[in-house]
A and B are shown apart, each in its own frame.
Chain A
Amino acid sequence: MAPNPRHIARVAIVGNPNCGKTTIFNQLTGLRQKVGNYPGVTVEKKEGNIVYSDGESISLLDLPGTYSLTPNSPDEEIVRDVLFGDLLDTPRPDGVICIVDASNLERSLSLVSQIIDTRLPCVVALNMMDDAKREGMGIEVEKLSELLDVPMVPTVGSRHVGLHELKKAIRGDMRISNAARRWSLPDCVQTEHREIVQLLRSHDAMEDAKAFFEATNLLSTPQSLENFESRTSTQVRERVKASRDRLQHLGYDRHSLFAWSRQNWIRAICASCVREGRKEKNLTGAIDSIVTHRFWGYVIFFGFMAFMFQSIFSWATIPMDLIGEAFTALGKGVVAIMAPGDLRDLLVDGAIGGVGAVVMFLPQIALLFLFLGILEDTGYMARAAFIMDRLMNKVGLHGKSFIPFVSSFACAIPGIMATRTIEDPRDRLVTMLISPLAGCSARLPVYSLLIAAFIPSISILGFWNLQGVVMVSLYLLGIVFALLMAWVFKKTILKGEAPDFVMELPPYRIPSLKSVFIHLWERCWLFLRRAGTIILAVSIVMWFLATYPKTNFPTQSEKLAHSFVGQAGQIIEPVLRPLGFDWKIGIGMLTSLLQREVFVSTISTIYNVQAGEGDPSNLRSQMQKDLDPATGLPKFTVLTAICVMVYYVLAMQCMSTLAVMRRETNGWKWPIFQLGYMTTLAYVVTFVVYRVGLHFV
């Protein structure tokens, strides 16, 4: 066995969005990654290790993509705070690997020059060199490296080209550049800037690099100085105000001056060592003309979503059946080797039945994450945001809000995390409030169970299956209500103009199998972990509550009705009767406040207990056969199933999402509001659907 690696440094990876940063991070660290959050915020913190053959290791920190170190949004603030060592529990890195899209050098070097200005040791990876060559660009790498005084390594991260050299450079060549702050400002501006830097250092005890950026930000930002009260002293702010007035008096546009000066310096460097290629019509152009078309764009997007949900339903059937059979066999195995009694029932009806009922949906969840990963990694997600901007604009948001919403199809938590790229705080809050209305993967087991049990598998128009159509309709219902609620919020409690939409559209790429696999693995593992912890615990508790107190009633059904859970169910049933729900559904809804898929395990445990020695896997038929003793009619009908699904489309049944909301909004006000509005909405809409539905059945 290899000895434990000796940790020698901690290095951050920085780059523009879509520069291949995460691909390089994945290639350098393999599966040696740890995913967490920065303390106090929910921006994902990814850490990994490069282990060298001699046993030394360097830890890598993958920072969110950013365009500059003067942040516009919360995730960009993280980058700045990490690089200046301002974040709790995240020490200032010993160096920076700056990933640059070589085919877009002039723009990318703006960030490189800012990193150089931090006076942190750095190395630059000129990534996507294959794209640059294809575009006909010629880059004199050595000369560029000399002019910026940083080591540069040409790479093609997706094909593992240059990564060995990059690893060597990280350990051996990383250094502080002497080209820091070479871009020049007009003399009088330089003087004002320098004096503010000195004041920040002496008065506010700021370290030099941080003072340099803070002074630049204070002079150039359109924000009022009141916004800097917590970070700067009164003397500094008074000095900045005087400087701003002086620059205005001299006729300088302070907002653009600094970016302009830096860009001029970079442009001169690029002119001397980069030969621009001749742009030919390419695949990206051809695809964009179709997928961003004002009519076909929508057809393609909604067609893709329909295909995705249809496929999730049909492709996953075989592995789902296999998992179901495996759990059934496990249950039968336990029955065969254990003597009858409570412990055996607990294991078979509670633990195996409850967990198995949820775990069997793993193939569907994996497929959902696979589709969403492909959507993201191919570059299509940004196009979806572009075409949806027209629609989002009508409800007062912009296309960027659509990306967190689509991410929420996987899980509302990364969806809420993704709102950190939204600049306007009100728009960010509206997006967070509506994100859980996207049909997350935890709803999938609920939908799949009820659709498979109550919606007939018949073909429509020869190629759509009714079950798939119902599934797609549920997701569309979530989208429609999300847009409606966004419009309501933007017109009432979070009033504001629709913001400007400007967004980079990355070139289309074939996704890296490794990146897709790593992402898929992380999400599936998270799902399995939840099944093995929360769902297992709830299943055991539910079994206990559904089995005790033991009574002498002749039928299992009556015994269940008089158990703890049966008695609790009767108490809540009057509230749910108007929706057409009986007490078993009510208990499922109550326990699934923790997380939505718990509904399936709860219902499974209740029906297993009711069935006694019944087959624990055959939940669907148990639900179909469940008759109301008073009327002799089935308790679960197509209408009941539709109403339960509509309720789950709209209700906030996820404690983890509420916890993330609390952390993101710094309090309980908005999570409680979110829980309240979603539950009310779900109740009212389900009531209407049930009442209207009764006229048709």
Chain B
Amino acid sequence: MDESPNLSDAPIGVTCVIRELKACPETSKRLRELGISEMAAVRPVVKNRTQMICEVHNTRVGLRRRIARRIVVSPTER
């Protein structure tokens, strides 16, 4: 199991920086098009057991937490 910090585990309201997308190529392409790309700042705003909403640039993106677990992030000071 990959132990890298991921978007699914990032606390609500805390801005992180995306380091790597490890989802399948099709999903990664869609994520990048929606602004969830390497080096982008992302902030989880809503979470439930299976889904989450995060803010990236000025957009909100809804995704399953299963995908968010494949997005490697690191915390940032903002």
Contact = CB atoms under 8 A, between A and B. Distances in A.
Interface of A: 67-68, 70, 72, 101, 103-107, 110, 131, 135, 221-222, 255-256, 259-260, 263, 267, 279, 284-285, 288-289, 292-294, 382, 385-386, 389-390, 393, 399, 423, 500-507
B31 to A, nearest CB: 6
A104 B51 contact: no
The 10 tightest CB contacts between A and B, nearest first, are A222-B25, A67-B33, A107-B35, A255-B25, A505-B60, A386-B62, A294-B48, A103-B58, A502-B63, A104-B58
Contacts of A294: 48-49
A399 B50 CA distance: 13
Given A107-B57, A288-B53, A389-B51, A67 B27 contact: no
A267 B35 CA distance: 11
B77 interface: no
A279 B63 contact: no
A289 B36 CA distance: 21
Contacts of B25: 221-222, 255-256
Contacts of B53: 288, 292, 386, 505
Contact of A502 (B31, B45, B48, B58): B31
Given A256-B32, A386-B53, A507-B60, 7 more contacts: A222-B29, A288-B46, A389-B62, A423-B30, A501-B51, A501-B63, A501-B64
A50 B63 CA distance: 39
Contact of B29 (A135, A255, A389, A507): A255
Interface residues of B, number: 39
B10 interface: no
A500 B35 contact: no
Contacts of B55: 279
Nearest to B33: A67
A503 B58 contact: no
B74 interface: no
Contacts of A285: 45
A256 B67 CA distance: 17
A106 B56 CA distance: 10
Interface centre among A385, A389, A390, A500 (most CB of B within 10 A): A500
B29 A259 contact: yes
A110 B31 CA distance: 13
Contacts of A390: 50-51
A256 B49 CA distance: 30
Contact of B32 (A263, A399, A506): A263
Interface string B1-32: 00000000000000000000101111111111
A135 B30 CA distance: 25
B47 to A, nearest CB: 10
A106 B40 CA distance: 10
B23 A104 contact: no
A301 to B, nearest CB: 14
A221 B66 CA distance: 23
Contacts of A72: 26, 29-30, 33
A552 B55 CA distance: 77
A284 B32 contact: no
16 contacts: A72-B29, A104-B57, A106-B57, A131-B58, A255-B28, A259-B32, A267-B39, A284-B60, A386-B53, A389-B51, A390-B50, A393-B50, A500-B24, A502-B64, A504-B59, A506-B59
Given A68-B33, A72-B29, A106-B35, A504 B60 contact: yes
